[in-house]
Amino acid sequence: MPYERTPPTTPLLTVSGDLLVIAPRTAAPVRPAPTNPYRRLLSTPGARAFTAGNLLARLPMGMFSVSAVIMIAGSRGSYALAGAVTATGLAATAVVAPWTARLVDRYGQARIAVPATAIAMLGSLALLLCVHYGAPAWTLFASYAATATTPNTGGMSRARWAHLHRGDPAALHTANSFEQAVDELCFMLGPALAALLCAALFPEAGTLVGAILLMTGVLIFAAQRATEPPVAPRTTRSASPLRAPGMPALLAVFLATGAVFGSMEVVTIAHAGGAILALQAAGSCVAGLLYGSLRPAGDIRRRLLGCLAGMTALMSLPLLATASADSLLALAGALLLAGAATAPTMVTGMTLVQRLTPEGRLNEGMTLAVTALLGGIAAGSAAGGWLVEYTAPVSGYAAPVCAAGLALAAAAAGVRRR
């Protein structure tokens, strides 16, 4: 039987009358890859699901301390007691968090994060009940200390990105910038949401909603098993991240950077109220997203030095604004610009943590960095409060500048030893 051939790309046999025709098959259109680095990042299979769960779990991180202060101070009439309880929780977190992260690395995110979060949720609910029913003060300390088992959800999310984009420094840089922007967003929205809930509903509402969001978010995050990093075999366990070359100096940088945040927060609240702090977080969020869209070149240690030098310079702006003009508008602009330096510094620092941490200990390494950051926040808060109390209010803004200078000096010393 005669046949005629049509020029196909993908042939398909058809019958037309008494002719056998090989007709072309229409090929499926190929979608071009997204050009926006963040769209490309979130197009990774499974990324949107674990990001949504992690966002829910991370939002309460900005809610718990504010909710506890409002709840305890409103019930017991003592801000000193409220501050002591939250400080105890911070100290307990600094001790427990690295151990929780080590268990996550050893047994997997889902197996550890869910029960650890359940314990933390019970601690929050116990605190709520103790405050509501007037239990002795020591029960408040014990209850809030139990929340220290909360896993480092931001670190677990960064570990997933590091697993999904291993060998792709550009994608990992974008992922770390995205995570830092999420951190800033949560610390902008969390305190405002907590204060709104406590004022509009009842004093315990912020703690209750935060506990529910944390548990729900971790359950959604842990359910995404396809993107979970594999557990390294126990026979290949590496040394502690603390022994990695360059890690102690880098943790000192995070400690000093935390002092920048803690002192800036206390001094600004004392000088102009807490609402204006959102501008600093907004500047950091925008700068983090912009930084993630770039492709920085050069040695990452030198890049960290540049970021820290920029942070030291920009942290002097609030001091100059209050010393010269003493204008709220000038301070607002200075805080917005000062915040723009923190996200690039944190992104570069976390990227360096990921590179220095031995294989199989990534969650522990990043949690150590967060623990150092929290310790610095506590020290910076104390130093800023002392300066505000015993010196001129404006001079308190010297504390963030000095802390940023210490971070720069620690990084420079680490690079020289390297």
CATH number at residue 293: 1.20.1250.20
Same domain, yes or no: 74 and 138: yes
- Domain membership of residue 14 (yes or no) is no
Same domain, yes or no: 153 and 243: no
Domain boundary among 210, 231, 252: 231
CA 386 to chain centre: 28
Same domain, yes or no: 175 and 73: yes
Q: How far apart are alpha carbons 203 and 39 in whole angstroms?
A: 40
For helices 398-417 and 316-324, give the axis angle rounded to 10 degrees.
160
User: The tokens of 416 are what?
Assistant: 């020289």
Q: Please report the pLDDT score of residue 255 as a whole number.
A: 94
Residue-number span of the structural domain to which 190 is assigned: 52-231
Domain boundary among 193, 211, 231: 231
Between strands 19-24 and 3-5, the pairing is: parallel
Neighbouring-strand partners of residue 186: none
Q: How far apart are alpha carbons 101 and 361 in whole angstroms?
A: 8
Same domain, yes or no: 289 and 378: yes
User: The tokens of 189 are what?
Assistant: 């929205």
Same domain, yes or no: 172 and 264: no
Cross-sheet strand order for the sheet of 11-16: 3-5, 19-24, 11-16
Listed in sequence order, the DSSP H helices in 59-168 are 64-76, 79-107, 109-132, 137-146, 153-164
Distant-in-sequence, close-in-space partners of 329: CB < 8 Å, separation ≥ 6 = none
- Domain membership of residue 114 (yes or no) is yes
- Domain membership of residue 8 (yes or no) is no
What pTM does this model have?
0.80
For helices 342-356 and 300-314, give the axis angle rounded to 10 degrees.
150
User: The tokens of 166 are what?
Assistant: 């291993």
Separation of first and last alpha carbons in the chain: 79
Burial class (CB in 10 A: 0-12, 13-18, 19+), 364: buried
Q: Please report the pLDDT score of residue 6 as a whole number.
A: 45
Same domain, yes or no: 204 and 73: yes
CA distances from 263 to 206, 216, 350, 402 (A): 25, 33, 22, 10
Distant-in-sequence, close-in-space partners of 384: CB < 8 Å, separation ≥ 6 = 262, 263, 264, 265, 266, 267, 270, 396, 399, 400
Q: Please report the pLDDT score of residue 238 as a whole number.
A: 67
Q: How far apart are alpha carbons 182 and 347 in whole angstroms?
A: 12
The CATH number given to whatever domain includes residue 93 is 1.20.1250
Domain boundary among 231, 250, 273: 231
Same domain, yes or no: 225 and 249: no
Q: How far apart are alpha carbons 362 and 102 in whole angstroms?
A: 9
- Domain membership of residue 286 (yes or no) is yes
- Domain membership of residue 392 (yes or no) is yes
Q: Please report the pLDDT score of residue 156 as a whole number.
A: 92
- Domain membership of residue 1 (yes or no) is no
Between strands 11-16 and 19-24, the pairing is: antiparallel
State pLDDT tens for residues 298-307: 789 999 999 9
Same domain, yes or no: 128 and 109: yes
CA distances from 405 to 154, 292, 310, 317, 339 (A): 27, 25, 10, 14, 16
Same domain, yes or no: 382 and 266: yes
Q: Please report the pLDDT score of residue 33 as a whole number.
A: 55
- Domain membership of residue 325 (yes or no) is yes
Same domain, yes or no: 87 and 199: yes
Same domain, yes or no: 222 and 246: no
Q: Please report the pLDDT score of residue 32 as a whole number.
A: 56
Residues of the chain with pLDDT under 70: 1-34, 234-238, 274, 393, 418
Number of domains in the chain: 2
- Domain membership of residue 21 (yes or no) is no
For helices 205-223 and 153-164, give the axis angle rounded to 10 degrees.
20
Same domain, yes or no: 392 and 293: yes
